[in-house]
Amino acid sequence: MTAPHLLIAGAGIGGLTAALSLARRGIASTVIEKRTGFGETGAGLQITPNSGRVLDALDLALPLKRVGVSSHGLTVRRWRDGGSIVEMPADAARQPTPFRLLSRIDLHTILLDATRAMPNIRFIVGRGVEDVRQDEAGVTVALTGQNGGERLQGLGLIGADGLWSRVRSLAGDEAAPAFTGYEAWRTMIPTASAPHLAGEKPGVTLHLGPRRHAVHYPVSSGRQINLVVLRQAQEAREGWSREGRRVALREHLAEAAPALRQLADAAPGWQVWSLFDRKPAAMAKGRIALLGDAAHPVLPFLAQGASLAIEDAGVLARLLAEHLAQEGAAGVPAALAAYAAARARRVARVQETSRENGRTFHLGWPWSIGRDLVLKRLGPDGMSNRYGWLYDWRDAA
């Protein structure tokens, strides 16, 4: 009998974690990535314990420790004077898995190295998934590219192809992502250029302002600081990633605390992303599954988009392995249906909580006073309890 073989569209964080999780369970895959290069600069990721546990189970704890920063916690600050509103220290007793602060390219490289070391993962790069047909035996996927007509076969197709997912459209969901009214300005600053932050414990700092907020944290073993300024905007810019003008950014931060402005002034350049949202999709249709942003893009107010993609990948691989072991190839649709059912409530809750945070983070005066009072009264313990459901997550296995 030949080994079961799945097709995965997209070599982002979700697609690579899925390939690795499947490979570790003896399931082969072909990862199809439409880009020819993988590099992405200027972005950090908070990988919280819920998804960190999935990565640790894939034996990635050591490489993650080498390039990541273990966060001491979160400090929420006022916009104008930078005064602390509340802190949420990382609680090692409750969460032995660290809150990791990583540059996106570091995490992606770790996943890429791990997947390339697995003999049962194959890559096709520079070709996209264009079409898919499914029948009782499996799926046939057509690829884009000059050798038109090339087809691949597998037991199923996992669409991990991001916000503008082609697989999602092929599964019947044609509604396009909608602009959210937010844009994110992102940069990486050499830590040596921000000596005024030198005494701070490594952690996440969140500045809450009217119609905007900023978040910064160290990444790359502490050599760089990831800074994101997220503001409300009238319309989406053409293309969703472009260079941001320094003078415009200064205007957005005109009334911010001096320490934040000083940090922003040290930025070598800015990338601006218009943020789009999409309703959660049905995560399974027959032999096609969706994961990560393809299934449920998340606004970055809870820092959970990549974490959800990693969780999805772990759950999907487990269920596929269980159903394949019991029912053979015929078990794929049931595995994918079980995956969709297992994930539905959690992803909806994370999406909704992220939106809710967006509304409260950006409140203007006088509503911001009430918000700050609530946060103060919650205190460190109240904050930890508030997010317990999120960070305590474990796969039901």
Ligand X SMILES: Cc1cc2nc3c(=O)[nH]c(=O)nc-3n(C[C@H](O)[C@H](O)[C@H](O)COP(=O)(O)OP(=O)(O)OC[C@H]3O[C@@H](n4cnc5c(N)ncnc54)[C@H](O)[C@@H]3O)c2cc1C
Q: Shortest distance, CB of residue 394 to ligand X, whole angstroms?
A: 17
Nearest to 206 by CA among 222, 224, 226: 226
User: Rule CB under 6 A: is residue 15 a binding residue for ligand X?
Assistant: yes
Stretch that binds ligand X, among 238-246, 251-259, 260-268, 305-313 (CB under 6 A): 305-313
In the complex with ligand X, which residue's Cβ is closer, 79 or 273? 273
Q: Shortest distance, CB of residue 32 to ligand X, whole angstroms?
A: 5
Q: Shortest distance, CB of residue 23 to ligand X, whole angstroms?
A: 17
User: Rule CB under 6 A: is residue 216 a binding residue for ligand X?
Assistant: no
Using a CB cutoff of 8 Å and minimum separation of 24, what contacts does 82-86 make? Answer: 82/207, 82/257, 82/258, 82/259, 82/260, 85/208, 85/372, 85/375, 85/376, 86/375, 86/376, 86/378, 86/379, 86/380, 86/383
User: Rule CB under 6 A: is residue 309 a binding residue for ligand X?
Assistant: yes
Contacts of 270 (CB under 8 A, 6+ apart): 42, 185, 186, 187, 243, 244, 245, 246, 249
User: Rule CB under 6 A: is residue 307 a binding residue for ligand X?
Assistant: yes
Q: Is 182 a catalytic residue?
A: no
Q: Shortest distance, CB of residue 247 to ligand X, whole angstroms?
A: 21
Site string for ligand X, 89-128 (x = CB under 6 A): ---------------------------------------x
In the complex with ligand X, which residue's Cβ is closer, 15 or 203? 15
Nearest to 350 by CA among 320, 292, 384, 308: 308
Is residue 103 within 8 Å of residue 226, measured between CB atoms? yes
Q: Shortest distance, CB of residue 243 to ligand X, whole angstroms?
A: 16
User: Rule CB under 6 A: is residue 314 a binding residue for ligand X?
Assistant: no
User: Rule CB under 6 A: is residue 9 a binding residue for ligand X?
Assistant: yes
- Size of the chain, expressed as the number of residues it contains: 397
User: Rule CB under 6 A: is residue 8 a binding residue for ligand X?
Assistant: no
Residue of 189, 303, 337, 347 interacting with ligand X (CB under 6 A)? 303
User: Rule CB under 6 A: is residue 13 a binding residue for ligand X?
Assistant: yes
Q: Are strands 204-209 and 73-78 parallel, antiparallel or unpaired?
A: parallel
Phi, psi at 141, each rounded to 5°: -110, 135
Q: Which of residues 261-290 bind ligand X (CB under 6 A)?
A: 273
DSSP state of 266: T
Stretch that binds ligand X, among 83-91, 254-262, 277-285, 303-311 (CB under 6 A): 303-311
Residue of 4, 14, 331, 358 interacting with ligand X (CB under 6 A)? 14
Stretch that binds ligand X, among 159-167, 246-254, 348-356, 362-370 (CB under 6 A): 159-167
Nearest to 321 by CA among 77, 69, 21, 80: 21
User: Rule CB under 6 A: is residue 358 a binding residue for ligand X?
Assistant: no
Amino acid letter for position 290: L
Q: Which of residues 165-194 bind ligand X (CB under 6 A)?
A: 166, 184, 186
Residue of 98, 209, 305, 333 interacting with ligand X (CB under 6 A)? 305
User: Rule CB under 6 A: is residue 218 a binding residue for ligand X?
Assistant: no
User: Rule CB under 6 A: is residue 160 a binding residue for ligand X?
Assistant: yes
User: Rule CB under 6 A: is residue 154 a binding residue for ligand X?
Assistant: no
User: Rule CB under 6 A: is residue 11 a binding residue for ligand X?
Assistant: yes
Count of Cβ atoms closer than 10 Å to residue 95 Cβ: 18
Angle (CA) 321-154-37 rounded to 5° is 100
List of E strands, the chain: 5-9, 28-33, 44-47, 69-70, 73-78, 84-89, 100-103, 121-125, 129-134, 139-143, 151-154, 157-159, 178-190, 204-209, 212-219, 224-232, 241-243, 271-277, 284-285, 288-290
C-alpha to C-alpha distance for 10 and 132, rounded to whole angstroms: 15
Residue of 7, 23, 28, 32 interacting with ligand X (CB under 6 A)? 32
Nearest to 250 by CA among 236, 231, 235: 231
Could you say which of 217, 339, 387, 391 is catalytic?
217
Nearest to 242 by CA among 189, 293, 176, 185: 185
Residue of 88, 90, 233, 306 interacting with ligand X (CB under 6 A)? 306
Q: Would you tell me which residues interact with ligand X (CB under 6 A)? A: 9-15, 32-35, 45-46, 128-129, 160-162, 166, 184, 186, 228, 273, 292-294, 298, 300, 303-307, 309
The residues annotated as belonging to the active site are 217
